[in-house]
Amino acid sequence: MVSVSESIWIDSPVEPVFEYLDDPYNHAEVTPSVTNVRNVEGLDNGGKRLDCTYTMAGVGLKTELEQTVHEPNRRMVFDMRSGIDGELELRFADVNGGTEVTYSAEYDIPGRVMSKVVKPFAVKYNERELRAALENLKQRLELEAESET
């Protein structure tokens, strides 16, 4: 099992941060390894189900994401199925007039030997990926807020 988590503070209220990430197409804008978001459909819980391509170490994986938890302005949880199965979670907290976003990923790497070889690489790769996604999110939302004033 691989588990990584990163947090960032964004100078924007929780509601617009949550709303931005509630649109699956925006994940592809801020997450470097997510592309080709398609087949987005709404779910009864307020969440979404979608297909996308997740690229890791140059290998594109067809991925299905299903939002199992959709708590407006608080939390999103996605089940990820792509051959590397796991869970992605985004938490939102009002901190000092802005938003602290915590992005966590937990997934299994198939195969015992493969897991021992790949796990250290996967942890580092995903730590960088989560950090980049959060930095891109911060930049996008803070620049957007500046341009509105």
> Among 65, 70, 136, which Cα is nearest to 107's?
65
The pTM of this model reads: 0.85
pLDDT at res. 98: 96
Model pLDDT for residues 70-101, shown as the tens digit of each residue: 999 999 999 999 877 899 999 999 999 999 99
* Model confidence pLDDT, tens digit, residues 14-60: 999 999 999 999 999 999 889 999 999 999 999 999 999 988 767 88
CB 80 within 8 A of CB 107: yes
% of the chain with per-residue pLDDT over 70 = 89
- The fold for domain 2-148 equals Alpha-D-Glucose-1,6-Bisphosphate; Chain A, domain 4 (3.30.530)
Domains of the chain, residue spans: 2-148
Q: Kindly report the number of other CB atoms within 10 A of residue 115's CB atom.
A: 14
